[in-house]
A and B are shown apart, each in its own frame.
Chain A
Amino acid sequence: QVQLQESGPGLVKPSQTLSLTCIVSGGSISSDIYYWNWIRQPAGKGLEWIGRIYDSVNTTYNPSLESRVAISVDTSKNQFSLTLRSVTAADTAVYYCASLGTYSSWGQGTLVTVSS
Protein backbone atom coordinates (compact mmCIF):
# COMPACT_ATOMS: atom_id res chain seq x y z
CA GLN A 1 0.00 0.00 0.00
CA VAL A 2 1.35 3.41 -0.92
CA GLN A 3 1.95 6.02 1.75
CA LEU A 4 1.19 9.69 1.19
CA GLN A 5 2.31 12.80 3.04
CA GLU A 6 1.15 16.36 2.42
CA SER A 7 3.48 19.31 2.78
CA GLY A 8 3.16 23.04 2.31
CA PRO A 9 2.54 26.32 4.12
CA GLY A 10 -0.11 26.38 6.79
CA LEU A 11 -0.97 30.04 6.24
CA VAL A 12 -1.76 31.80 2.97
CA LYS A 13 -2.85 35.40 2.50
CA PRO A 14 -6.12 36.22 0.72
CA SER A 15 -5.82 36.60 -3.07
CA GLN A 16 -2.56 34.65 -3.09
CA THR A 17 -1.85 31.12 -4.33
CA LEU A 18 -2.06 28.00 -2.21
CA SER A 19 0.50 25.34 -3.13
CA LEU A 20 0.67 21.89 -1.59
CA THR A 21 2.72 18.82 -2.39
CA CYS A 22 1.99 15.16 -1.74
CA ILE A 23 5.03 12.90 -1.40
CA VAL A 24 4.34 9.33 -2.45
CA SER A 25 6.26 6.32 -1.14
CA GLY A 26 5.77 2.63 -1.79
CA GLY A 27 4.56 3.11 -5.33
CA SER A 28 5.38 4.93 -8.55
CA ILE A 29 3.68 8.26 -9.20
CA SER A 30 3.69 7.50 -12.93
CA SER A 31 2.01 4.11 -12.62
CA ASP A 32 -1.37 3.95 -14.35
CA ILE A 33 -2.92 1.89 -11.55
CA TYR A 34 -3.22 4.93 -9.29
CA TYR A 35 -5.61 7.88 -9.32
CA TRP A 36 -4.06 10.76 -7.37
CA ASN A 37 -6.63 13.03 -5.72
CA TRP A 38 -6.87 16.18 -3.66
CA ILE A 39 -9.73 16.52 -1.18
CA ARG A 40 -10.46 19.17 1.43
CA GLN A 41 -12.56 19.51 4.55
CA PRO A 42 -13.44 22.80 6.27
CA ALA A 43 -13.62 22.57 10.04
CA GLY A 44 -16.77 20.80 11.15
CA LYS A 45 -17.96 20.20 7.59
CA GLY A 46 -17.97 17.45 5.01
CA LEU A 47 -15.47 16.32 2.42
CA GLU A 48 -15.08 18.16 -0.89
CA TRP A 49 -13.43 16.52 -3.89
CA ILE A 50 -11.06 19.00 -5.55
CA GLY A 51 -9.71 16.97 -8.46
CA ARG A 52 -7.45 14.18 -9.59
CA ILE A 53 -4.65 13.31 -11.97
CA TYR A 54 -4.23 9.99 -13.69
CA ASP A 55 -1.43 8.57 -15.80
CA SER A 56 0.63 11.71 -15.07
CA VAL A 57 -1.27 14.01 -17.44
CA ASN A 58 -5.01 13.30 -17.36
CA THR A 59 -6.75 15.72 -14.98
CA THR A 60 -10.35 16.20 -13.85
CA TYR A 61 -11.46 19.00 -11.55
CA ASN A 62 -14.45 20.00 -9.46
CA PRO A 63 -16.38 22.45 -11.69
CA SER A 64 -16.77 24.88 -8.80
CA LEU A 65 -12.97 25.18 -8.49
CA GLU A 66 -11.86 24.47 -12.04
CA SER A 67 -11.04 28.08 -12.93
CA ARG A 68 -8.57 28.35 -10.02
CA VAL A 69 -7.08 24.89 -9.57
CA ALA A 70 -4.32 22.79 -11.13
CA ILE A 71 -2.93 19.36 -10.23
CA SER A 72 0.38 18.17 -11.61
CA VAL A 73 2.89 15.36 -11.19
CA ASP A 74 6.66 15.56 -10.67
CA THR A 75 7.94 12.11 -11.63
CA SER A 76 11.54 12.94 -10.65
CA LYS A 77 10.44 13.48 -7.04
CA ASN A 78 7.60 10.91 -7.01
CA GLN A 79 5.10 13.53 -5.88
CA PHE A 80 2.07 15.40 -7.07
CA SER A 81 0.98 18.93 -6.34
CA LEU A 82 -2.06 21.16 -5.90
CA THR A 83 -2.18 24.82 -6.89
CA LEU A 84 -5.19 26.94 -5.97
CA ARG A 85 -5.15 30.56 -7.07
CA SER A 86 -6.88 33.66 -5.69
CA VAL A 87 -7.73 32.10 -2.34
CA THR A 88 -10.27 33.51 0.12
CA ALA A 89 -11.23 32.62 3.67
CA ALA A 90 -13.64 30.05 2.21
CA ASP A 91 -10.61 28.01 1.11
CA THR A 92 -9.53 27.47 4.72
CA ALA A 93 -9.65 23.71 5.31
CA VAL A 94 -7.73 20.54 6.00
CA TYR A 95 -6.36 19.40 2.66
CA TYR A 96 -5.84 15.70 2.00
CA CYS A 97 -4.03 13.96 -0.79
CA ALA A 98 -5.25 10.46 -1.55
CA SER A 99 -5.12 7.57 -3.91
CA LEU A 100 -8.70 6.39 -4.47
CA GLY A 101 -10.28 3.34 -6.06
CA THR A 102 -8.74 -0.11 -6.22
CA TYR A 103 -5.59 1.11 -4.47
CA SER A 104 -6.66 3.45 -1.70
CA SER A 105 -4.53 5.42 0.71
CA TRP A 106 -4.85 8.83 2.35
CA GLY A 107 -2.37 11.31 3.74
CA GLN A 108 -2.87 12.53 7.28
CA GLY A 109 -4.07 15.94 6.06
CA THR A 110 -2.65 19.42 6.43
CA LEU A 111 -4.49 22.49 7.72
CA VAL A 112 -4.32 25.53 5.47
CA THR A 113 -5.62 28.81 6.84
CA VAL A 114 -6.32 31.76 4.57
CA SER A 115 -5.86 34.94 6.56
CA SER A 116 -4.01 38.23 6.39
Chain B
Amino acid sequence: QTVVTQEPSLTVSPGGTVTLTCASSTGAVTSSYYPNWFQQKPGQAPTALIYSTSNKYSWTPARFSGSLLGGKAALTLSGVQPEDEAEYYCLLYYGGARGVFGTGTKVTVL
Protein backbone atom coordinates (compact mmCIF):
# COMPACT_ATOMS: atom_id res chain seq x y z
CA GLN B 1 0.00 0.00 0.00
CA THR B 2 1.34 3.37 -1.04
CA VAL B 3 1.80 5.88 1.78
CA VAL B 4 2.35 9.61 1.33
CA THR B 5 3.90 11.17 4.43
CA GLN B 6 3.82 14.76 5.66
CA GLU B 7 5.05 16.37 8.87
CA PRO B 8 2.28 15.98 11.49
CA SER B 9 2.62 19.52 12.74
CA LEU B 10 4.69 22.67 12.27
CA THR B 11 4.72 25.95 14.16
CA VAL B 12 5.71 29.28 12.60
CA SER B 13 5.76 32.87 13.80
CA PRO B 14 3.75 35.55 12.00
CA GLY B 15 5.83 36.92 9.13
CA GLY B 16 8.06 33.87 9.15
CA THR B 17 8.68 31.16 6.57
CA VAL B 18 7.83 27.47 6.79
CA THR B 19 8.27 24.60 4.36
CA LEU B 20 5.99 21.57 4.33
CA THR B 21 7.10 18.40 2.58
CA CYS B 22 5.37 15.44 0.96
CA ALA B 23 7.20 12.13 0.65
CA SER B 24 6.24 8.93 -1.17
CA SER B 25 6.85 5.43 0.18
CA THR B 26 7.73 4.35 -3.37
CA GLY B 27 10.73 6.66 -3.69
CA ALA B 28 11.55 10.14 -4.90
CA VAL B 29 8.71 12.43 -5.87
CA THR B 30 9.09 13.95 -9.33
CA SER B 31 6.97 16.21 -11.49
CA SER B 32 5.40 13.07 -12.94
CA TYR B 33 3.45 12.72 -9.71
CA TYR B 34 1.76 16.08 -10.45
CA PRO B 35 1.88 17.22 -6.80
CA ASN B 36 -1.13 19.18 -5.62
CA TRP B 37 -1.50 21.09 -2.35
CA PHE B 38 -4.69 21.91 -0.45
CA GLN B 39 -5.53 23.98 2.60
CA GLN B 40 -8.35 22.98 4.94
CA LYS B 41 -9.68 25.04 7.83
CA PRO B 42 -11.91 23.51 10.53
CA GLY B 43 -15.43 22.80 9.34
CA GLN B 44 -14.67 23.76 5.75
CA ALA B 45 -14.04 21.94 2.51
CA PRO B 46 -10.44 21.96 1.31
CA THR B 47 -9.25 24.71 -1.00
CA ALA B 48 -6.73 24.03 -3.77
CA LEU B 49 -3.50 26.03 -3.60
CA ILE B 50 -1.04 24.42 -6.03
CA TYR B 51 -1.27 21.96 -8.94
CA SER B 52 1.38 20.16 -10.98
CA THR B 53 4.20 20.92 -8.53
CA SER B 54 4.27 24.71 -8.69
CA ASN B 55 1.30 26.13 -10.56
CA LYS B 56 -0.92 28.53 -8.65
CA TYR B 57 -4.59 29.28 -9.04
CA SER B 58 -5.93 32.79 -9.45
CA TRP B 59 -6.96 32.75 -5.80
CA THR B 60 -3.67 31.41 -4.40
CA PRO B 61 -1.91 34.07 -2.32
CA ALA B 62 1.54 34.98 -3.66
CA ARG B 63 3.17 33.91 -0.37
CA PHE B 64 2.45 30.24 -1.20
CA SER B 65 4.82 28.43 -3.54
CA GLY B 66 5.31 24.81 -4.58
CA SER B 67 8.49 22.99 -5.58
CA LEU B 68 10.44 19.74 -5.49
CA LEU B 69 13.00 19.52 -2.71
CA GLY B 70 15.32 16.63 -1.96
CA GLY B 71 13.10 13.99 -3.53
CA LYS B 72 9.91 15.36 -2.00
CA ALA B 73 7.21 17.78 -3.03
CA ALA B 74 7.30 20.96 -0.98
CA LEU B 75 4.99 23.82 -0.12
CA THR B 76 6.63 27.00 1.20
CA LEU B 77 4.74 29.73 3.01
CA SER B 78 6.68 33.00 3.10
CA GLY B 79 5.53 35.92 5.23
CA VAL B 80 3.05 33.75 7.11
CA GLN B 81 -0.22 35.38 8.14
CA PRO B 82 -2.47 34.36 11.06
CA GLU B 83 -5.10 33.19 8.58
CA ASP B 84 -2.66 30.60 7.23
CA GLU B 85 -3.22 28.50 10.33
CA ALA B 86 -4.84 25.37 8.91
CA GLU B 87 -4.32 21.74 7.90
CA TYR B 88 -2.44 21.24 4.65
CA TYR B 89 -2.64 18.16 2.45
CA CYS B 90 -0.63 17.12 -0.55
CA LEU B 91 -1.95 14.83 -3.28
CA LEU B 92 0.24 12.70 -5.52
CA TYR B 93 -0.80 10.83 -8.66
CA TYR B 94 0.63 7.39 -9.33
CA GLY B 95 0.75 6.22 -12.92
CA GLY B 96 -0.63 9.63 -13.77
CA ALA B 97 -4.11 8.70 -12.59
CA ARG B 98 -4.38 7.12 -9.12
CA GLY B 99 -4.42 9.72 -6.41
CA VAL B 100 -3.11 9.35 -2.87
CA PHE B 101 -3.44 12.10 -0.29
CA GLY B 102 -0.73 12.81 2.21
CA THR B 103 -1.23 12.38 5.93
CA GLY B 104 -1.65 16.12 6.45
CA THR B 105 0.32 18.84 8.27
CA LYS B 106 -1.23 21.06 10.90
CA VAL B 107 0.34 24.50 10.71
CA THR B 108 0.11 26.65 13.80
CA VAL B 109 0.88 30.38 13.62
CA LEU B 110 2.18 31.47 17.02
A positions within 8 Å CB-CB of B:
37, 39, 46-49, 52, 60-64, 96, 98, 100-102, 104, 106-109
Contact = CB atoms under 8 A, between A and B. Distances in A.
A109 B1 CA distance: 26
A24 to B, nearest CB: 15
A101 B51 contact: yes
Tell me the interface secondary structure of chain A in the complex. loop
Interface residues of B, number: 23
B15 to A, nearest CB: 28
Interface of B: 1, 34, 36, 38, 40, 45-48, 51-52, 55, 57, 89, 91, 97-104
12 contacts: A46-B101, A47-B40, A52-B97, A60-B97, A61-B98, A64-B1, A96-B45, A96-B46, A101-B34, A101-B36, A101-B52, A109-B45
A62 B4 CA distance: 14
